[in-house]
A and B are shown apart, each in its own frame.
Chain A
Amino acid sequence: MSTTATPVTALPGKYLTVVLDNEAYGIAVLKVREIIRLQKITPVPQVPGYVKGVINLRGRVIPVVDLRVKFGLKAEFGERTCIVVVQVKLPSEQVVQMGLIVDCVEEVVTLTAGEIEPTPDFGAKVDTGYLLGMAKVKGQVKTLLDIDRVVAPETVQALVQTV
């Protein structure tokens, strides 16, 4: 698993589904470190807009990215807004923790290989690099995110170094 260079298709297994603007997205459970409620975020200057700042997670300072901003949606917090702490593997094989702000977390689902479809081809101009594939669950389509690529690794590198 750690040796796979570019996993084009997602693997079957357990996925944590989160909601952004009434759309469900799947994150591989093994990438998830833990789920916490929204807490005070300390802003950091000179960072991209989708980086909200940093939080103190049990003594460790980790950056927090607002996925709504990242996905071009309107930034807003609700009662159910949570921060999903994920482990991102950098190109330098270094593993860092990072918080993702989502509207809410739904459940942990187990996806079989048959339920997973490859990412459709939207055309050359659309970057679909951060998508693992599309999962069909209970008649709905859920986008499976490649969490390592959702935020550009370079940016994460820079962030981690800044922090």
Chain B
Amino acid sequence: MKSTHTSRRTRQLLTGLTVLLVVLSFSLTLGLNYRERRLREDNTAVATAIEHIRYTMVEMSDGMRGMLLSPDSALERKRKFDADADMGATVDALHARLAEEPELLAALDAMGEYDKQNLNAKENQVIELIGTDPKAAAAFYASTYLPARHEFDQLVLALRAKGQALNDTRLANLATQARFAYVGIGSLLALCLVVTSFQSRALNRELRRIAEELNQGADQTSAAATQVSASSQSLAEGASEQAASLEETSASLEEIASMTKRNAENATQAKALAAQTRTAADAGASEMEEMKRAMDAIQASSDGISRIIKTIDEIAFQTNILALNAAVEAARAGEAGMGFAVVADEVRSLAQRSAQSAKETAGKIGDSVQRSAHGVQICGQVAQSLSEIVAKAREVDTLVAEIATASTEQTQGISQVNIAISQMDKVTQANAAGAEESAAAAEELTSQTVMQKESVAALLALVSDGRPAASSTPITPAPVPNAPAAPRTRHPAPPAADGRPPARGQSRLKYAPLEAPGANGHGNGDHDHFAG
């Protein structure tokens, strides 16, 4: 990433540099041309001025000669002075133009100095001599003035030559500079081009790598699309199975609801029965109390009978004693008491029988009393048991009431569970629809991947200059999911009366045949078939 960034920066820098160099060379060319033209123009101007000076000088000498020939001629005189003024103005202009040329300025100054010192003096002498002695003036003119003028002309020519030489030197310098600049710019441009070509090769390599990565990405995307297709298939399968389970759950819930209702009814009945049981137990307890009282009465009368028996026994005992006394008395009486002894014996045996009967009755009564006491005891236990039964019946009553309440709550809970189940059903259908959509999206993804592959192949061809694309594998089309239809057909589809729309997966049937050759109709088999 960092190297890519750096190379991009370098490329930008190189491009900018190249453009800069091109612009620089253009401007350099323009500048050189301008300077050359300026130099040539200056040179031409200086040469023109010097020629003009020479012309004015000729004009001046011509004027002077005219004056010599016709001293009174004002025209000639004016001609000479006009030329004089013209030369002064030209020299001044040249002086101004050559202000930055010290060499030429020195030559010009020397020329001007000579003009002032020699030529002007000689002119003035000629003009004076014209007034006085025209012949001498002509002689002076010819002997002195003309050589001076020739000297001056030589100076002017020297100036011209000097300016010409200076100009030539500058032009030569300029040409040398231009050559150096062009060579430098050219070498820089060449360097830039070389670097750019290297960069371009690196860019190509980068592009190639990216293209291959894109290719791999397309392959991976294709695989992912296949996986998405498979998972959406299994998702649809799971959704349909879930829908079937939900139906079963719903049926079970209905059964549970009816059972719960029955439970509640039974609990109500059990409550009533428990109340009856409690009442019966209460009645039994009170009857038990009565029974206990009866037992107590029996015991009391048994006690009374027992006392009576005791009294009888006592009487028998006393009778026995009396009989024995009588027998003793009879024995004392000897023969006379024999009959009395028999009576006494009879009385005694009666008393003994009476005592025996009393004893037996007492035994019976005691037995009865004992049994009665036992009955009382059992009676108490039964009463306790009955009271326990009453308590338990109360508990049962409470429990049954709680059961009834719980059953009612359970019914409410079951209705809530029913609502939740219907919501789950909706979610399941949404899941199935989502699985359909994701399958379609996987298909779309696969076609996009094919297009991407083609683009990558084109890019690779472009990058590798006709070399064959290396890793271009054909994209296998993602299998069209048909699984959502299969489980739906396995489980009977819910009737339309349920309000549920028919499974969207069924529409896939006409695109993907269920019975793939060599596959058992299961999703994975289909995949293998399509992939192979």
Contacts and interface: CB of A to CB of B under 8 A. Distances in A.
Interface of A: 14, 16, 29-30, 32, 34-37, 79-80, 82, 105, 107-108
B318 interface: yes
Nearest to B326: A108
Given A80-B317, A107-B348, A35 B324 contact: yes
Contact of A29 (B318, B321, B332): B332
Interface in B332-379: 332, 341, 345, 348
Interface string B431-449: 0000000000000000000
B243 interface: no
Interface majority SS (helix, strand, loop, mixed), chain A: strand
29 contacts: A14-B331, A16-B327, A16-B328, A29-B327, A29-B328, A29-B331, A30-B332, A32-B328, A34-B325, A34-B328, A35-B321, A35-B324, A35-B325, A35-B328, A36-B321, A37-B318, A37-B321, A79-B317, A80-B317, A105-B321, A105-B324, A107-B324, A107-B327, A107-B348, A108-B324, A108-B328, A108-B331, A108-B341, A108-B345
Contacts of B345: 108
A107 B325 CA distance: 10
A157 B301 CA distance: 54
A29 B328 CA distance: 6
A6 B326 CA distance: 30
A82 B331 contact: no
Nearest to A34: B325
Contacts, number: 36
A107 B318 CA distance: 14
B55 to A, nearest CB: 205
Contacts of A32: 328
A82 B324 CA distance: 12
Contacts of A29: 327-328, 331-332
A35 B317 CA distance: 12
A131 to B, nearest CB: 22
Contacts of A107: 324, 327, 348
B327 A108 contact: yes
A108 B337 CA distance: 14
Contacts of A80: 317
Contacts of B341: 108
B332 A82 contact: no
A156 to B, nearest CB: 21
A37 B324 CA distance: 12
A105 B320 CA distance: 9
B302 to A, nearest CB: 20
> Which among A30, A32, A80 has the highest number of chain B CB atoms within 10 Å?
A32
Contacts of A30: 331-332
A51 B169 CA distance: 196
> Which among A35, A37, A82, A108 has the highest number of chain B CB atoms within 10 Å?
A108
Contacts of B320: 105
Given A16-B327, A29-B327, A35-B324, 9 more contacts: A14-B327, A32-B328, A35-B325, A37-B321, A105-B320, A107-B324, A107-B348, A108-B324, A108-B327
Nearest to A14: B331
Contacts of A36: 321
